[in-house]
Structure 1
């Protein structure tokens, strides 16, 4: 199945955080507080997915107050942090919505993401993802993690579902 065909089926799109929504760098204050840098371009893409009726989930192996604030700011209710088995988390989300695996997508960057990436109908990785991961996903972005890769995937999903042009045209009115 082509990446476009797989993306056309997505109703629930999940995202990893470090290396996908961020550049993967970990910043800590002297007090031990973790800081993260998020792209506003990516954020608008996530909002556009939600507007189009595609539910967004964040499934991360790490926990962070910065991520809690970012998810709340974007209206993302499905925030799952400190998850050891991301595939099982996605399966639970699909079961709760009575959706098949081909209705799910996930974007990850490292080998620990491969189980969930391979379990979803659509999978994506940023251009700076681990090389092995890039070989096992449907779509690799031109942009790197934290630098527009998430937005690129959001636009790809919306275009694959025939919704992107109409959404962008609204900004020209």
Structure 2
């Protein structure tokens, strides 16, 4: 399973409020295709985010994430629930983060990832740091890396091109 934070990982971390109070976030289409590739390859995906947002809910439902957990500032207890729910070990989980609330989960998972614009403390303990920043295709980068390591990437691309 590939789990990730939202703000700073799936987005660039900026939040814009319109004059009527609506929240605006940008999601990169590259990451969306990465989530689609993961699903096609049989990888489960999910988000654990401290904030709650209708936009995040909409995007997550659109991409058919297996787990959509919002309002989870303390992420480790929610991570443990997800592991139990899907009968997963730590080694079967990749987690992507960018800031301090992600640290406890990053320390437990089998493959920990810090986006390139993450806090240095996360980069120091992460198994991998992305080449690109959150919101710029970092999720896609990691999913492709996982699929290549599993020997699934080339077959998926051939299917898509056919």
Shorter-chain TM range is: over 0.9
After superposition, the C-alpha distances for 1:6-45 in whole angstroms (9 at most, x for unaligned) are xxxxxx1101000000000111111221111000110010
Q: 1:147 aligns with which of 128, 136, 158?
A: 136
Runs of 4+ in 1 over 3 A off after TM superposition: none
Provide the aligned length of Structure 1 versus Structure 2: 162
RMSD, matched Cα: 1.0
Q: Distance in 2 between matches of 1:85 and 1:28?
A: 25
Q: Distance in 1 between matches of 2:115 and 2:13?
A: 11
Q: 1:55 aligns with which of 44, 50, 61?
A: 44
Shift in Å at residue 169 of structure 1?
2.0
2:2·2:94 contact (CA, 8 Å) conserved in 1?
A: yes
Look up the match of 1:114: 103
SS at match of 2:125: coil
> TM-score if structure 1 supplies the norm length?
0.90
Shift in Å at residue 77 of structure 1?
3.8
Identify unmatched segments of 5+ residues in structure 1. Answer: 1-11
After superposition, the C-alpha distances for 1:141-169 in whole angstroms (9 at most, x for unaligned) are 11111001110011011111111111112
Shift in Å at residue 170 of structure 1?
2.1
Q: 1:23 aligns with which of 12, 34, 38?
A: 12
Q: Residues 52-91 of structure 1 correspond to what in structure 2 (within 5 A)? A: 52-91=41-80
Q: Distance in 1 between matches of 2:147 and 2:139?
A: 12
Shift in Å at residue 172 of structure 1?
3.3
Identify unmatched segments of 5+ residues in structure 2. Answer: none
Look up the match of 2:35: 46
2:93·2:111 contact (CA, 8 Å) conserved in 1?
A: yes
